[in-house]
Amino acid sequence: MLIATYEEWKDGCLEQAKSSKAKKDRMVDCHECLGSGEVECHCCGHEATCDSCDGECQVDIKDLPNTSHLFHERDYYTAVIKDLKSVCRFTNKSFFLEALPFIRGFKKQFRYLPKRYRSRATKIAA
């Protein structure tokens, strides 16, 4: 089974988000205030409205200069596992036999497994 690499997946997600015509699909949490709408002054600790999002908590992905932080390896792992489950259900193949090469490769490349899957996957990949 052919699975997109993390870089291919990340580029695809970014392209899909940027090309979306609906503005709500392009909105992501503000990187300055982390989605709170307010930032703390570094010298006096005063809370002020975030200048990046104007207190809206989210910004358009097209307005961000750097988008590498938006798509985490954990999201990639979760998306691939979800897709593998759907494909295996549809094709009536063993999920564990199909997922095992991906789990081993992910663990080798990123040196960890997302916490949610750690106990189940380590029993399989051992």
pLDDT tens digits, one per residue of 70-94: 778 888 999 999 999 999 999 999 9
Return the amino acid letter for 17.
A
Q: Which of 12-16, 101-105, 114-118, 122-126 has the highest mean pLDDT?
A: 101-105
pTM > 0.75? no
Angstrom distance (rounded) from CA 33 to CA 104: 36
Note the pLDDT of residue 107.
Answer: 87
